[in-house]
Structures are given as structure tokens and as C-alpha cells.
Chains A and B, each alone.
Chain A
Amino acid sequence: GQQVMQIPQYQHVQEGEDFTTYCNSSTTLSNIQWYKQRPGGHPVFLIQLVKSGEVKKQKRLTFQFGEAKKNSSLHITATQTTDVGTYFCAGPRGGSYKLIFGSGTRLLVRP
């Protein structure tokens, strides 16, 4: 079945360093979404990418969707302690109702 994998599983950085998480799907995706879950919290939608090769920015966060629409990345420039949390990518399977979530990347930031 369709799988969505993320690497790395964990990333521990010093505040001010950059961070990147990568997402790979076993199948082509019509779109990909990114969510952030703070410790003890719930997943919160960050962004959706639809077009092949699409790049979107939200302040220090840069999201990319691969040309083949099978991979994606999230890059955070100059991390801050407020960036701590688990970042998930998610892609629809089959029809649009079902989202398959990636395994998540947990980001820890040392102040």
C-alpha cells in the first residue's frame, strides 16, 4: 500500500541553525500537506502544495514539492525555540477523503 516516509526521525539543533525534513511517497501525490504538532498538542495545518516543483514560503519556513510529485521538503531557516515540535507531511490516498501521514520528524531546539 501507499507509504509516506519522513527523515530524519529526530533532529536536535542549536537555536539559530537551519533544519530540513524530507518526505517521500511511494506513489505520486495530487497534493501534499504539512502539519506541525507542538509537544502535548494537536496537529495544526501549515500549508498545502499542489503543483509540480512548487515552492512556498512562510516567514522562515520554505516548503517544496518535487517535480515528480513524490517528495517534499520543509526547511526552517535560523530555528527558534518556538519551532520545537513534530512536523508531519501528509498526502491523499485514492480519493481526496483519506490522508496518509508521514512518520514525522521531531525537532528539538537548544536555546
Chain B
Amino acid sequence: DTAVSQTPKYLVTQMGNDKSIKCEQNLGHDTMYWYKQDSKKFLKIMFSYNNKELIINETVPNRFSPKSPDKAHLNLHINSLELGDSAVYFCASRHTGVAYNEQFFGPGTRLTVL
């Protein structure tokens, strides 16, 4: 059973299009994240939700809009895609209030904007 799943795994699209990435976790965690990993492998946090409430919103263009319909799901919608949006996007989750703060990552979505 996959703990954190993302769809799609690959996404190739034209500049200016709008696309969505979906994430689901079956770990019962209360906090979920979106990260962007660029070609140099830097992992940058974008957003975080705790119990469906937005708690972290980094300096991300407002073309990116996260949505958490429930604790187990966190989606990312991107409007007017640009070349610089090409990256691997990782979803992650964790359970707060426990001794170990480890985050569980999804397999990633490789977004290529042409």
C-alpha cells in the first residue's frame, strides 16, 4: 500500500496552460506539504496544510493555488504555466505532536513546461 501517492507522475504541457497535481496520504497524518525540487536538487517548501488549514505559504507566485478538501488530500493547481515551473513537485505528510517529526514523501510529479 502506497503511503503518499501523487498523480500524475509525469506532466508535459505547453506554456500558458493550467494544470493540477493531486496528492493523497493514507497514513492518518494531519499535516501535508508541497515541495518544489529544481534541476540542482534544491528542495524548497511551497505550502503546508494542517487539518485542512493553510499554515505555510512561502513566497510562491499566486499562479500556484493549493487546496485541501480533507486531511488526507492536498492538491496543487497551477495557472498560466511558465518555463521556470519545470521541476519535480513532491507532496509530503507528517503527524504533528509526536517525538519524531519525519516527513513521508510521495514519489513526485515531474512537470515539464515547453
Contacts and interface: CB of A to CB of B under 8 A. Distances in A.
Given A33-B101, A97-B31, A103-B42, A42 B90 contact: yes
Nearest to A48: B100
B43 A42 contact: no
A33, A45, A103 pick with most chain B CB within 10 angstroms: A45
B43, B50, B96, B108 pick with most chain A CB within 10 angstroms: B43
Contacts, number: 50
Interface residues of B, number: 22
Nearest to B105: A42
A97 B55 contact: yes
A88 B92 CA distance: 15
Contact of B102 (A41, A48, A86, A88): A48
Interface in B56-104: 56, 90, 92, 96, 100-104
Given A97-B56, A98-B45, A101-B45, 6 more contacts: A43-B105, A45-B103, A92-B101, A96-B101, A97-B50, A99-B45
